[in-house]
Amino acid sequence: MTELAAVRREQLKPPVVDIGVIGWLHKNLFNTWYNSILTVCMVVVLGLLLPPLFKWAFVDSVWYSSAEACHDIDGACWSVIPHNIRFIIFGFFPEGQEWRPALAMFLLLALVVYSRKRSRWQSSLGCLWAVSLTVMGVLMYGGIFGMPVVETSQWSGLPLTLMLSFFGMVAAYPLGIMLAIGRRSRLPAIKSLCIVYIEMIRGVPLISLLFMSSIMFPLFLPEGISINKVLRAQVAIILFTAAYIAEVVRGGLQAMPRGQYEAAESLGLTYNQTLRLIILPQALKIVIPPTVGILLSAFKDTSLVVIIALYDVLKTTKVTLSNPKWTGCSTEAYIFLALLYFVFCYAMSSYSRRLEKELDTSY
């Protein structure tokens, strides 16, 4: 009886109109009359827009011409990128020394990529990071092994952008977590300190923080003592991002049911162990999507350092375009820059989605 039923069920296939290309089209593009109209409109709009865009970018365009040749064509003048790539990427880093920031960036990215697997998160990886960061610092600053010293005022372009955002994120994340925990503390002094900090930082724009760090802060220092400008910008970015992280993490902490605390405490775990082993791993996982949102905007916000005269990759591009030879090519240069930012942002967001999936324990 049951065997028969099983056989009969196996023979029943879904109706043909529901599967295959036609089924997909019907379900996704033409399932109602208004969706059909939308589909047709979109096809028309794309049909009008895409061919000219394609023609501009790929057919009428030039890739390696001189600046003068660009004036005579209708298409994109991509030549602006190869002609100026050295300055866009490395900015004022001394000529002939470009291999040093290039190697440092490569080391950083390679390590980030290597660290993506959770099974590799061990103390040996921590040592590897410590060593590599030192090597990167030596590469950038020089002064030994026959490498001439390059002052931080000459650090610019992509290395500067990557450095400000990498350290900004890496330092702001734990600081934000501590602020979030502090804000939930039972000790009134710690709690109010954290609230004041978070609300004050969130109440001002990043630009004003950068201004303060670069113009006002030195006024308070005793004569003769000065703190590096890049470092000051870096600290401002960290402090700013941490306040936002803190509020997101606090949301995650509040989402944790009381039963988790009680179960951990009734095993005899201390408060710190409860936080570290039970609460934070779950709370941080819940808030991965908004955290990544904040990290992405922190990454892009590093371009604001131009207002304190640091030359990040956006500013070096602008400088390139201020050369009269290339002024007409701003669209092309900015498209290139947009792609550059997009690659990093997309890598981060797709990694976060993978991490979420890995950490999913079907609860």
Partner 1 sequence: MNEREVETGVVKSGDPIIEIHGMHKWYGDFHVLSDINLEVQPREKIVICGPSGSGKSTLIRCINRLEEHQRGQIIVNGTELTNDIKNIEKVRAEVGMVFQHFNLFPHLTILENLTLGPIWVRKKSKKEAEATAMMYLEKVDIAEQAKKFPGQLSGGQQQRVAIARSLCMYPEVMLFDEPTSALDPEMIKEVLDVMIGLAEEGMTMLVVTHEMGFAKSVADRVMFMDDGEIVEQNRPDLFFDNPQHERTKLFLSQIL
Given a contact cutoff of 8 angstroms between Cβ atoms, the answer to whether 261 and 251 are in contact is no
- Hey, which residues does 157 pair with through a beta bridge? 312
Q: From residue 250, how far is each of 41, 169, 244, 255, 283 by CA, in Å?
A: 45, 17, 10, 9, 9
55 near partner 1 (CB under 8 A): no
Q: Is 269 a residue that touches partner 1 (CB under 8 A)?
A: yes
Q: Which stretch binds partner 1 (CB under 8 A): 9-17, 246-254, 256-264, 342-350?
A: 256-264
Taking the complex as a whole, the smallest distance from the CB of residue 163 to partner 1 amounts, in Å, to 33
Q: How many residues bind partner 1 (CB under 8 A)?
A: 22
φ, ψ for residue 72, nearest 5 deg:
-95, 0
Q: Give the relative orientation of helices 158-183 and 229-254 as an angle to the nearest 10 degrees.
A: 40
Question: Residue 174 interacts with partner 1 (CB under 8 A)?
Answer: no
Q: What are the C-alpha distances in Å from 306 to residues 105, 157, 160, 301? A: 21, 11, 11, 10
Do residues 287 and 252 lie in contact, with contact meaning Cβ atoms separated by under 8 Å?
yes
Could you tell me which residues are beta bridge partners of residue 312?
Answer: 157
Q: Distances from the Cα of 71 to the Cαs of 52, 84, 317, 323, 326, in angstroms?
A: 19, 17, 20, 15, 10
Closest CA to 235 of 267, 201, 258: 201
Asked if 66 interacts with partner 1 (CB under 8 A), we say no
Q: Is 268 in the site for partner 1 (CB under 8 A)?
A: yes
Can you tell me the distance from the alpha carbon of 53 to that of 46, in angstroms, rounded to the nearest whole number? 10
Stretch that binds partner 1, among 128-136, 240-248, 264-272, 340-348 (CB under 8 A): 264-272
Binding residue (CB under 8 A) for partner 1 from 239, 264, 313, 321: 264
Q: Candidates 31-39, 228-236, 262-270, 300-308 — which segment interacts with partner 1 by CB under 8 A? A: 262-270
Contact call for residue 266 and partner 1 (CB under 8 A) = yes
How far the first Cα of the chain sits from its last, in Å, is: 37
Q: Nearer to partner 1 by C-beta: 66 or 270?
A: 270
154 binds partner 1 (CB under 8 A): no
Contact between 267 and partner 1 per CB under 8 A: yes
Tokens standing for residue 161: 């952008």
Is residue 187 at the binding interface for partner 1, with CB under 8 A as the rule?
Answer: no
Given 92, 133, 195, 265, the residue binding partner 1 (CB under 8 A)? 265
Residue 181 C-beta: closest distance to partner 1, Å? 18
Residue 259 interacts with partner 1 (CB under 8 A)?
A: yes
18 or 262, CB closer to partner 1?
A: 262
Least separation, in Å, of the C-beta of 274 and partner 1? 10
Helices (H), 157-257: 158-183, 188-202, 206-211, 217-220, 229-254
Instruction: Give the nearest distance from C-beta 262 to partner 1 in angstroms.
Output: 5
Interacting residues with partner 1 between 274 and 313 (CB under 8 A): 277-278, 281-282, 285
Binding mask 331-360 for partner 1 (x = CB under 8 A): ----------------------------x-
> Taking the complex as a whole, how short is the minimal distance between the CB of residue 269 and partner 1, in angstroms?
6
Burial 236-258 (b: 16+ CB within 10 A, else e): bbbbbbbbbbbbbbbebbeeeee
Contacting residues toward partner 1, per CB under 8 A: 257, 259-260, 262-270, 273, 277-278, 281-282, 285, 359, 361-363
